[in-house]
Structure 1
Amino acid sequence: MIDPAAIDFEKGNGLVPVVVQDAATLQVLTLAYMDRAALDETIQSGEATFFSRSRGGRWRKGETSGDRLRVVSITPDCDGDALVLAVDPVGNACHLNRTSCFGAADAPGLGRIARLEQTIAERAAADPSESWTAKLVAQGPKRIAQKVGEEGVETALAGVAGPDEELAGEAADLIYHLLVLLHVRNMVFQDVLDVLASRAEAGKGPKTRA
């Protein structure tokens, strides 16, 4: 966590803006404000606490709704007068019962991968007769790895001779089955991204190309 003494509250008349972001999907959930007391309480409790300009006082997210924001990290900007709060949301961030205050759309870009991982984890515990994901998980990593291989071949064939829609669909199937395989191995896609990042830092040439 950060040192609250290093944050410049004076510039904003006692408040700093806080961009709240889902730590897994990177989706921006809301924009809020903190004073020194709210930041201190956030650090101590591990849950997001803000200063409400309309109420004129501090409030911990979820006190009435139950939709809490568990803090993963707090990062100041280069001037120390704004914060990014990475959180693990429990429920919705928006008072309109939406995931984000910035529209009804779900996590964009790579955030969709993290959202799919969450769905896979939830469905893995379902009845295998009612969920394809649960059925795959019940069959074990060997069968799932076989499916990854099959989907990889189908993706390659679509890439050679299929239309764009077919390639996109086969690639989606491949990614889904790969995420299921990672799940049963107690891994997440971030483990793959960590390898790519380490290769980029090491300058390993073609393996780091986009």
Structure 2
Amino acid sequence: MKPDYSKYQDGLVPAIIQDFKTNKVLMMGFMNEAALAQTESSGKVTFYSRSKQRLWTKGEESGNFLLVKQVLLDCDHDTLLIKAEPQGPTCHTGADTCWSERNHTDDFLYYLQDIIDLRRKSSDEKSYVKQLFGKGINKIAQKVGEEATEVIIEAKDNNEELFLNEAADLLFHFIVLLRAKDVTLQDVTYVLQQRHSK
């Protein structure tokens, strides 16, 4: 990969940083040849800071690094797209992105996953999700099994409303189980994508 740094007077190419899971654009910076080389060798996004006049690794002060997953060069060879995993808020203001967007996909299931995570950490002992996590992995797995059985039973009948409600219960509890195992819907999706690509 050889960006054409000569297209810009200062020899710096724009580098757009995108969350590799949510596809949200996190920030934009500039890279010279040395910054790109350090980004690729360290696995952490490194820019050339025009204000500091030196290489600057995002997160070197805050700890909110951007871990590199993929580096792409556009068709004109003058702009980089870097897919990364953020280790905290990206913007210096504390926002998820430099455009103050929440860093989650617009897919409702991923939003629901975020809500489940919030309820898990909540101090509200009346929260159903909080109580379920409190009972441990065995109870959560048992609940998924119960919901799966109910889906099978409703699938044999012709009541679409009941079937959809049981399917929703199963999906909800399945996400809870994923989070109890410290994996995400994105992780499962990735496995499916890898299978599909074969």
TM-score, with length taken from structure 1: 0.67
Greater shift in the superposed pair: 52-61 or 139-148: 139-148
Q: 1:108 to 1:76 in 2, by over 3 A?
A: same
Say which is worse superposed, 98-107 or 41-50, in terms of deviation. Answer: 98-107
Report the CA distance shift for 1:97/1:58 in structure 2 as closer, same or farther (over 3 A): same
Partner AA of 2:35 in structure 1: A
- Whether the aligned pair in 1 keeps the contact of 2:39 and 2:45 (CA below 8 Å) is yes
Q: What letter matches 1:42 in structure 2?
A: T
Aligned 8 A contact 1:144 1:180 in 2: no
Given the superposition, is the C-alpha separation of residues 117 and 42 from structure 1 closer, same or farther in structure 2, using an over 3 Å criterion?
same
Does residue 1:179 correspond to 2:175, yes or no? Answer: yes
Corresponding residue of 1:82: 79
Conserved? CA contact 1:25–1:110, under 8 Å: no
2-structure distance, mates of 1:74, 1:118: 31
1:56 aligns with 2:70: no
Change (3 A) 1:99 1:185: closer
Q: Is residue 143 from structure 1 mapped to residue 142 from structure 2 by the alignment?
A: yes
Cα deviation code 1:76-113 (max 9, x no counterpart): 12222111111121121000001111124342313862
Alpha-carbon RMSD across the aligned residues, in angstroms, is 4.0
Superposed counterparts of 1:78-157, under 5 Å: 78-110=75-107, 113=110, 116=113, 120=117, 123=120, 131-135=130-134, 137-139=136-138, 142-149=141-148
Q: Relative to structure 1, is the Cα distance of residues 192 and 23 closer, same or farther in structure 2, using a 3 angstrom cutoff? A: closer
Aligned length: 188
> Which amino acid in structure 2 is aligned with residue 139 of structure 1?
N
Of residues 12-21 and 104-113 in structure 1, the stretch that sits farther from structure 2 once superposed is 104-113
- Ranges in structure 2 where 5+ consecutive residues have no aligned partner: none
Letter in 2 for 1:105: R
Say yes or no: does 1:11 pair with 2:7. yes
Question: TM-score if structure 2 supplies the norm length?
Answer: 0.70
What SS does the corresponding residue of 1:55 show, helix, strand or coil?
coil
In structure 1, stretches of 5+ residues that fail to align are 203-210
